[in-house]
Amino acid sequence: MALTVYEIWKSYPEKLGKEIDISGWVRTERTSKNFGFIELNDGTFFKNIQVVYDDTLPNFAEVTKITTGSSLTVKGKLIESPGDKQPFELKAENIEIIGLADPEFPLQKKRHTTEYLRTIAHLRPRTNLYRAVFKVRSLVAFAIHKFFTERNFVYVHTPIITGSDCEGAGEMFQVSTLDMKKPPLNEDGSIDYSKDFFGKQTNLTVSGQLNVENFCMAFRNVYTFGPTFRAERSNTQRHASEFWMIEPEMAFAELKDNMDVSEEMVKYLISYVLENAPEEMEFFNQWVDKGLLERLNFVLNSDFGRVTYTEAMEELIKSGKQFDYKPEWGIDLQTEHERYLTETVYKRPLFVTDYPKGIKAFYMRVNEDNKTVAAMDLLVPGVGEIIGGSQREERYDVLVKRIEEMGLSKEDYWWYLDLRRFGTNKHCGFGLGFERMVMYLTGVENIRDVIPFPRTPKNAEF
RNA sequence: GGGAGCUUAGCUCAGUCGGUAGAGCAACUGGCUGUUAACCAGUUUGUCGGGGGUUCGAGUCCCUCAUCUCCCGCCA
């Protein structure tokens, strides 16, 4: 009977005394003269299975030479373990060495730095930390679909390649099949994109929002969840050039609904991973962030803070704290301000709403005061901004005026403006940084450690 | 895009005042009848990130380039 390590751990009392066989990779081994132990992991579970063998094995001499990282198939009997670190173990009757790992296998039985492990991204998923991270990443992705599907949201696949060259959110990666050494030129020397693959200049998407708003007007509640690309030279632990983003959009809804759904979703994701990845979460709590479980449980049972930008500014000014950037109405909240608010003042996730319109995107709805827009950012301790969203400007004339004010061209947004001509309504949505959510849930501090093969400036190895 | 720091053995690091290279782990060899990052003994391991300079002499001081990390900006 071939079993996975997961199945054995989940039902070992009834498997005791039975003959089984398992296949997996050697995590670590310990040998003595006449016997030895192998910790075998087959990837299906966070924990290993301890294999015990002795010199009754025909290939005992070979088995004692097994190296960390090797792949094996072990046949034997599952028995109770005399050791107190594990309830059971596999007494080997046959060990087949399938792929002996070269002794240079770089993962040793000791702690490596995450910096080093990033240089061997092809092997790092075999470590406890990355196995736990990527298991949780997978569960969170599923939980997001589950959350929205349970609420009757429709999942929309918005395009990866976009022809809107002015989505307004940062530098973009250009997509082209033109010969870079000899591109076709217009008479004025500029590149003639009519000769390019799509007959126009195209880029990788920086946001699916403008597209998903169209489907929002057909299905009412929708979301996208897919890769997003930013060509910013951002060298920080929370920025990547390629990341995944969840962008829900809700029709007939206002900013408060936006916050309610965000808060409900964050709490849903927290309880989902606590329930479905207890071993991994315990591991993070012990090795990555000692306060993780306590913090997540606290957040689960408390209301998120909600303040307006204006109130937040007053709070910062009132604090008398020396900031590098002096808090003042009209400037954007600096990272130091955000950290102070969410980590020191509120000590929990915090929505900041109604920012000055000058520092926010054109599509955000202008408030009655004509000075602020119905925007919201969700700040969380440790990670910072995890969600950015807004109520959208649904009034055709106001939106056109905003596009012109921002120096954009309304022709480029004809189809977006059409939504305001044909059955417009108050609607809102937000973007959740998927990796930032995974960071928040695991306590892992660097975005490069929650992406299987991260892409950052100057790094696209693997 | 702006700033700071780092780079020494396969890995993690130490290296004092400028005087010619160290430890632990890994690997390898041997020992050990219940280990838990096993233990004990022994052996091997270096373009001190690259280039240039100062000096009798540079891992150490200076210049320069590169990588990586962190902070800021951008933002999710």
- Of A197, A245, A178, the C-alpha closest to A388 is A245
Which nucleotides on chain B have any atom < 7 A from a protein Cβ?
A: 1-3, 10-13, 25-28, 31-38, 67-76
What Å value separates CA A124 and C1' B35? 26
Using CA atoms of A39, A285, A385, A150 in order, give the dihedral in degrees to the nearest 10: 80
Q: What sign does the CA torsion over A222, A228, A230, A231 have?
A: negative
CA distance A424 to A360: 22
Q: Please state the length of chain A.
A: 462
Looking only at the bridges linking them, the beta strands covering A384-391 and A372-380 are antiparallel
What Å value separates CA A237 and C1' B51? 31
Cβ proximity of A387 and A430 under 8 Å: yes
What Å value separates CA A236 and C1' B71? 8
CA distance A419 to A409: 17
Which nucleotide is at minimal CA–C1' distance from A388? Answer: B76
Average pLDDT score over residue span A31-57: 92
> What band does A417 get if pLDDT is binned at 50, 70 and 90?
very high
> What band does A437 get if pLDDT is binned at 50, 70 and 90?
very high
Per-residue pLDDT, A102? 86
* Whole-Å CA distances, A297 to A136, A275, A290, A294, A436: 17, 12, 13, 5, 18
Which nucleotide is at minimal CA–C1' distance from A83? Answer: B34
What Å value separates CA A120 and C1' B21? 28
Average pLDDT score over residue span A437-441: 97
Q: How many CB atoms lie within 10 A of CB A369?
A: 9
Per-residue pLDDT, A412? 87
What Å value separates CA A114 and C1' B43? 31
CA distance A30 to A39: 9
Cβ proximity of A52 and A32 under 8 Å: no
pLDDT reading at A104 higher than 90: no
CA distance A178 to A110: 49
What is the secondary structure of A158-202 as a DSSP string? --SEE--TT-SSS---EE--S-TTS--B-TTSSB-GGGSTTSS-E
Per-residue pLDDT, A168? 57
Phi, psi at A118, each rounded to 5°: -65, -30
pLDDT reading at A25 higher than 90: yes
Burial of A405 (0-12, 13-18, 19+ CB in 10 A): exposed
Burial of A76 (0-12, 13-18, 19+ CB in 10 A): buried
Which nucleotide is at minimal CA–C1' distance from A207? Answer: B76
- Of A461, A445, A441, A462, the C-alpha closest to A138 is A441
Strands in A242-251's sheet, in edge-to-edge order, are: A154-155, A221-229, A242-251, A427-433, A384-391, A372-380, A350-356, A305-308
Average pLDDT score over residue span A122-133: 93
Cβ proximity of A52 and A88 under 8 Å: no
Per-residue pLDDT, A129? 93
Per-residue pLDDT, A51? 94
Which nucleotide is at minimal CA–C1' distance from A34? Answer: B33
Per-residue pLDDT, A166? 54
What Å value separates CA A270 and C1' B70? 29
What Å value separates CA A344 and C1' B23? 42
Which nucleotide is at minimal CA–C1' distance from A430? Answer: B76
- What residues contact residue A360 under an 8 Å CB cut-off, 6+ apart? A373, A375, A390
Q: What region does A423 belong to: left with phi over 0, alpha with psi -120 to 50, or beta?
A: left
> What band does A1 get if pLDDT is binned at 50, 70 and 90?
low
> What band does A167 get if pLDDT is binned at 50, 70 and 90?
low
> What band does A20 get if pLDDT is binned at 50, 70 and 90?
very high
Which nucleotide is at minimal CA–C1' distance from A237? Answer: B70
Collapsing DSSP states into helix, strand and coil, what is residue A374?
A: strand
| Residue A341 DSSP one-character state | I
Per-residue pLDDT, A178? 95
What Å value separates CA A258 and C1' B52? 60
Which nucleotide is at minimal CA–C1' distance from A86? Answer: B36
Collapsing DSSP states into helix, strand and coil, what is residue A359?
A: helix
Strands in A202-204's sheet, in edge-to-edge order, are: A161-162, A202-204, A174-175
What Å value separates CA A67 and C1' B45? 20
The owner of tokens 């296998």 is A105
Phi, psi at A200, each rounded to 5°: -160, 170
Collapsing DSSP states into helix, strand and coil, what is residue A434?
A: helix
Nearest protein residue, CA measured to C1' of B36? A85
Which nucleotide is at minimal CA–C1' distance from A246? Answer: B76
Give the helix/strand (H/E) hosting A285: helix A278-287
Q: Please, which residues bridge with residue A51 across strands? A: A38, A90
* Residue A276, amino acid: N
> What band does A334 get if pLDDT is binned at 50, 70 and 90?
very high
CA distance A200 to A174: 11
Looking only at the bridges linking them, the beta strands covering A154-155 and A221-229 are parallel
Nearest protein residue, CA measured to C1' of B76? A433
Nearest protein residue, CA measured to C1' of B31? A33
Q: What is the ipTM of this complex?
A: 0.91
Average pLDDT score over residue span A376-391: 93
pLDDT reading at A311 higher than 90: yes
Nearest protein residue, CA measured to C1' of B33? A34
What is the share, in percent, of chain A residues with pLDDT greater than 70?
98
pLDDT reading at A170 higher than 80: no
> What band does A37 get if pLDDT is binned at 50, 70 and 90?
very high
Which nucleotide is at minimal CA–C1' distance from A114? Answer: B69
* Per-residue pLDDT tens over the stretch A335-374: 999 999 999 999 899 999 999 999 999 999 999 999 999 9
- Compute the mean pLDDT over every residue in chain A, rounded to the nearest whole number: 93
What Å value separates CA A165 and C1' B5? 38
CA distance A125 to A452: 8
Nearest protein residue, CA measured to C1' of B28? A103
Cβ proximity of A65 and A109 under 8 Å: no
CA distance A103 to A369: 69
Q: What sign does the CA torsion over A247, A249, A255, A257 have?
A: negative
What Å value separates CA A56 and C1' B45? 36
> What band does A406 get if pLDDT is binned at 50, 70 and 90?
confident
What Å value separates CA A111 and C1' B7? 20
> What band does A383 get if pLDDT is binned at 50, 70 and 90?
confident
Which nucleotide is at minimal CA–C1' distance from A230? Answer: B75
Nearest protein residue, CA measured to C1' of B70? A236
